[in-house]
Amino acid sequence: MRYTQVPGLIWMAIGITLLFGSIKLGLGTFQKPGPGFMPFFTGSLLGLLGLILAIISSRRKDKEDDKISLKKFFKQGVYALISSTIYIFVLDYFGFIIATFLFIFILLKIMGTRKWLTSILISLLTVGVSYLIFIFWLRINFPMGMLRIG
């Protein structure tokens, strides 16, 4: 097994764990979702993407140094964990829209070498789609923050 397959397998394991945990919570229906509804679909997607990543990594032909890739993966994972923790604490203060925009932007800058404009546009798109789905369509209330936006 190649070291570059490890991240995909880890994401797949996390996805499977989410699947089993969400089933225990109860899925509900599309009309009346239960507490495990979103984690189930999130886990499914995460597990599938992890599997795809592991397969793609196993088929690569280049001789990239796998140990450097693994070290970079864990370093990015620690940064993502720190960012997620900070996001939890600032969500009430800044509100869903601002905190989520900053969180996605920071993750994009940490995880890859995306240009500033690309990171800003992806962050705006993510917040916009999240707002439409959760606040507009599903009518879920998120923190508005100090500026009362959202």
Digit-coded pLDDT (tens) for 45-68: 888 888 888 888 777 665 555 555
- Give the tokens for residue 45: 């997607």
The string of pLDDT tens digits covering residues 101-148 is: 998 898 888 777 678 888 899 899 999 998 888 878 887 777 777 777
Q: Are 39 and 25 in contact (CB under 8 A)?
A: yes
| Mean of pLDDT over the chain | 80
Task: Name residue, tokens 């890739």.
Answer: 69
Query: Which is it for the CA torsion 4, 10, 16, 19, positive or negative?
Result: negative
Do residues 36 and 78 touch, judged by C-beta distance below 8 A?
Answer: no
Q: Alpha-carbon distance 20 to 43, whole Å?
A: 9
Burial class (CB in 10 A: 0-12, 13-18, 19+), 46: buried
In this prediction the pTM is 0.57
∠ CA 138-122-50 to the nearest 5 degrees? 80
List the beta bridge partners of residue 33: 28
